[in-house]
Amino acid sequence: MSEPMEEEVKEAIQHLKQGDINGLEPLVRRYQLKALRVAYLIVRDHQLAEDIVEEAFLRAFDRIHQFDSSRAFEPWFLKIVINMARRAAVRYGRQTRLLDEDPQVLSTRGPNLNIRALETDAEYADALQALWIALGMLDVDQRVVLIQRYYLGLSESEIACRTQSPLGTIKWRLHAARKFLRRLLQADL
């Protein structure tokens, strides 16, 4: 983060800590896109992701006094988003059961996730769609870890630290998620 941006975030947080709601706008502008995309990958629904992130910003505002200003805001805020999205995905998954997403469809389609080998836009679109469906079929906890590892680029230790889970659990979830995707997509993940 550049220094002026860091200053702007610090100033916004200071405003929030003083109860000034105007402090929220710069934080929303800066972090909404990343938060929305993480939530979207976890819950796989645009509207639900928006609801979650909106709620997460209000929750962050409500709990801003628990935030240590000497630390970075983004990990603290994304932790709120991820927790909320995870809970929503569990609830949502129970309701929908992904009825229209049949693993058979994926294996017969035989998508190739080696991007360099994808020669046409259609192949690329197929690969995207296949991974999207496969993500939805993952266990929620495995999906959350996979997104933290490969979308947010966190190390396994960082994920363990942020989720306060044993490192072994994180490693196992990642391994299980990759194995599931590999089997389903017939790709070398």
Partner 1 sequence: MEEKGNLRKILSELAIQGIPESTDLWPRIRDRLQRISLLDRLKRRTALPGGSWLILALGIALVIGLVLNPGNTQAASFIARIMEHDKRVMTIDLDKGIRLNEPRTIQGVTVTLFGIHGNEEYLILEYAVQSPSGQRFEPRDERLLETVCYAWDGTYGFNEDTHILHLNLPAEETGYLAIFRNKCRFPPKQLHFELYVQEVIVPPSVSSDANSGQVLEPVPAGRIIGPFEFSIEVPTN
Report the interface residues with partner 1, using CB under 8 A.
17-22, 24-25, 28-29, 32-33, 36-38, 40-41, 46, 49-50, 53-54, 57-58, 65, 113-116, 127-128, 131-132, 135, 147, 150-151, 153, 187-189
Least distance from partner 1 to the Cβ atom of residue 142, Å: 13
Neighbours of 124 (CB within 10 A): 14
DSSP character for 65? G
Complex with partner 1: residue 8 or 50, whichever CB lies closer:
50
Complex with partner 1: residue 115 or 122, whichever CB lies closer:
115
> Residues 6 or more apart from 122 whose CB is under 8 A from it?
none
Least distance from partner 1 to the Cβ atom of residue 153, Å: 7
Complex with partner 1: residue 8 or 54, whichever CB lies closer:
54
Complex with partner 1: residue 99 or 117, whichever CB lies closer:
117
